[in-house]
Amino acid sequence: MVANWFSRTPRRIEAPRVRARSDDQVTTKVDLVEFTPDLQQFLGRAAYVQLTLFENLSRAVSTAPSTSAKTALGRAAELSIAKHRQLAEEITRAGGDPATAMEPYTTAVDTFERSTHGADWLETLVTCYLTAGFLDDFFARLAQGLAPDVRGRVAAIFTGDSGSEVFVQLLTQAIENDPRLASRLAMWGRRLVGDTMLVARSALDDRKTGNRKSDEARIEPVFTELIAAHTRRMDALGLTA
Amino acid sequence: MVANWFSRTPRRIEAPRVRARSDDQVTTKVDLVEFTPDLQQFLGRAAYVQLTLFENLSRAVSTAPSTSAKTALGRAAELSIAKHRQLAEEITRAGGDPATAMEPYTTAVDTFERSTHGADWLETLVTCYLTAGFLDDFFARLAQGLAPDVRGRVAAIFTGDSGSEVFVQLLTQAIENDPRLASRLAMWGRRLVGDTMLVARSALDDRKTGNRKSDEARIEPVFTELIAAHTRRMDALGLTA
């Protein structure tokens, strides 16, 4: 189950799981469907987050020290901005305006962007890899609580190919060339997870449930899984989470 | 002749002029097929130029003052980096390595990038619109001299949708809001054409012909047409070329 969630390959979304609100948490399934906001809110926030991820990635292209790195990162940048376009198209399809839908989230997400900017090219690469990976996982799960007619299509935006292998390749190569980088980049990766979780946490609509303590109990296992996936991404770089 | 290309004097060119500079200039056809370099040279230069155009465009996304402008420019950025990817794929398909093929051109093109950077977001938009428009035209024509099996496919990369209407829309709106911008942006547009022509001119392989004087006579009508198209792009912004 967990492995399935974090699979990087495109996959078919399973049928919706229905859970009674009043149920105690008796199942081992952990999901966020009770906390999914309205469609325009979901899409507006996700679209603006995705724009930020693209901006980080395009900066990584511009500051890359070699043409081969630029071309390789260009592929990931293309996939990233295509995701933003698809989210904006979903906003329009649902009768909204992309800029209007994104506007409420710009201040918080811009703050996130600044704090995850990175001091140099390698830190920016770590940001692109870890924050996009975490947030793709998160939004794909949160999308499961959308209406049945859009759920699969929206979730697929986040589960498609993101070209993330380029980050692993460039970063492991850099660390191999200069092993002293490992501790600095590991520290950066650990710092990122806190800011990224804040962005994810703020996307949850817990007004729908209301019992804060019970909410936290239901949310926590999901974040435990998201952090486990983050740890695996750090592992892939040879870094200690 | 050269002075004519780099003229800062506003002028309007209605139709391609064919000028009989020498007796062997008998045909009215103007093209560049005699000056098309080898495939890897063509693709390497064009791919690196396209990367630079994408970097300008992604900076325009990052520095855009509104989310609606970011989303609109994002579409053009996606098309731009897709073009680079397609050119890199053509290099690979022809048995080359993209980074190796691009390497000889990085210094000259980086100089071009710096000189066409623009002082602010609006100048960057003018750069994205005018330089990409000019160079798409140029490389599409130059591609006609490639081998028959690749010519059509490579030319199509440059003639496809580049999303350029977004620049016209954003710039005409900005000029409408503040008409004083027109003279500064027109001056910037006139300056760009000189640097852009230099990049184009350096892509011509005139070793293939050898008679410098006769070469210039054949090249000039093509540049006259390219400049006429540049003038039409300026017109679309309401600016005097």
Is the per-residue pLDDT at A80 higher than 90? yes
* Band of residue A3 on the pLDDT scale cut at 50, 70, 90: very low
Is the per-residue pLDDT at B7 higher than 50? no
**What total of structural domains would you count in chain A?**
1
B51 with A66: Cβ contact below 8 A: no
Is the per-residue pLDDT at B14 higher than 50? no
| Average pLDDT of chain B to the nearest whole number | 88
| Average pLDDT of chain A to the nearest whole number | 88
* Cβ atoms of B47 and B87 closer than 8 Å: yes
Query: How big is the A-B interface in CB pairs under 8 Å?
Result: 88
- Say how far apart CA B34 and CA B146 lie, in whole Å: 10
Is the per-residue pLDDT at A74 higher than 50? yes
Across the range A108-132, mean pLDDT stands at: 96
- Minimum-distance CB partner of A61 among B55, B74, B82: B55
Q: Within a domain: residue B10?
A: no
Residues of B with Cβ-Cβ distance to A70 under 8 angstroms? 51
Q: Does the CB of A161 have a partner CB in chain B at under 8 Å? A: no
Across the range B22-31, mean pLDDT stands at: 48
- Minimum-distance CB partner of B74 among A61, A75, A85: A85
Residue B209 pLDDT: 67
B71 with A77: Cβ contact below 8 A: no
- Say how far apart CA B136 and CA B130 lie, in whole Å: 10
b (16+ CB within 10 A) / e for A21-50: eeeeeeeeebbbbbbbbebbebbbbbbbbb
Quick one: what percent of chain B has pLDDT higher than 90?
Answer: 78
- Say how far apart CA B166 and CA B54 lie, in whole Å: 15
Is the per-residue pLDDT at A27 higher than 80? no
Q: Which of A73, A28, A80 is nearest to A51 (CA)?
A: A80
- Minimum-distance CB partner of A55 among B61, B98, B103: B61
| DSSP string computed for B129-143 | HHHHHHHHHHHHHHG
Is the per-residue pLDDT at B148 higher than 50? yes
Residue A212 pLDDT: 74
Interface predicted TM-score (ipTM) of this complex, two decimals:
0.84
Range of weakest confidence among A18-32, A88-102, A225-239, B7-21: B7-21
Q: Strand, helix or coil at A163?
A: coil
* Band of residue A17 on the pLDDT scale cut at 50, 70, 90: very low
- Classify the C-alpha dihedral A29-A35-A40-A44 as positive or negative: negative
Q: Within a domain: residue A7?
A: no
* Band of residue A25 on the pLDDT scale cut at 50, 70, 90: very low
Using N-to-C axis directions, what is the helix angle for A148-159 and A121-142, rounded to 10°?
160
The residue in chain A having the minimum alpha-carbon distance to the alpha carbon of residue B80 is A78
b (16+ CB within 10 A) / e for B52-91: bbbbbbbbbbbbbeebbbbbbbbbbbbbbbbbbbbbbebb
- Say how far apart CA B127 and CA B167 lie, in whole Å: 10
Q: Which token pair is B5?
A: 């290309």
Q: Which token pair is A185?
A: 């980049």
Residues of B with Cβ-Cβ distance to A82 under 8 angstroms? 78
pLDDT higher for A32 or A187?
A: A187
* Band of residue B27 on the pLDDT scale cut at 50, 70, 90: very low
- Say how far apart CA B90 and CA B47 lie, in whole Å: 10
Q: Which of B86, B12, B241 is nearest to A71 (CA)?
A: B86
CB-based contacts of B206-209 (< 8 A; 24+ apart in sequence): B206/B35, B208/B34, B208/B35, B209/B34, B209/B35
Q: Within a domain: residue B232?
A: yes
Q: Within a domain: residue A67?
A: yes
Q: Within a domain: residue A15?
A: no
Residue A194 pLDDT: 93
Range of weakest confidence among A192-201, B29-38, B103-112, B209-218: B209-218
Residues of A with Cβ-Cβ distance to B82 under 8 angstroms? 78
- Say how far apart CA B9 and CA B6 lie, in whole Å: 9
Which CATH number does the domain housing residue A52 bear? Answer: 1.20.1260.10
State which residues form the domain around A194. 31-236
10 Å Cβ neighbour count for A187? Answer: 13
Residues of A with Cβ-Cβ distance to B77 under 8 angstroms? 54, 58, 77, 81
Across the range A62-81, mean pLDDT stands at: 97
Q: Within a domain: residue B67?
A: yes
Distance separating the N- and C-terminal Cα atoms of chain B: 19
Q: Which of B135, B140, B137, B150 is nearest to B39 (CA)?
A: B150
Q: Does the CB of A121 have a partner CB in chain B at under 8 Å? A: no
Is the per-residue pLDDT at A207 higher than 80? no
Q: Strand, helix or coil at A113?
A: helix
pTM, full prediction: 0.86
Is the per-residue pLDDT at B212 higher than 80? no
Most B CBs within 10 A among A52, A56, A61, A62, hence the mutation to make, goes to A62
Across the range A39-45, mean pLDDT stands at: 97
- Any alpha helices (H) in chain A, and if so which ranges? 2-5, 39-62, 67-93, 98-102, 106-115, 121-142, 148-159, 165-177, 181-202, 212-236
Q: What are phi and psi of B13, to 5 degrees?
A: -115, 120
Q: Within a domain: residue A241?
A: no
Residue A30 pLDDT: 63
- For residue B145, the distance in angstroms to the closest alpha carbon of chain A comes to 26
Q: Does the CB of A111 have a partner CB in chain B at under 8 Å? A: no
Residue B218 pLDDT: 85
Q: Within a domain: residue B44?
A: yes
Residues of B with Cβ-Cβ distance to A55 under 8 angstroms? 58, 61-62
10 Å Cβ neighbour count for B213? Answer: 9
Is the per-residue pLDDT at A199 higher than 90? yes
Is the per-residue pLDDT at A102 higher than 80? yes
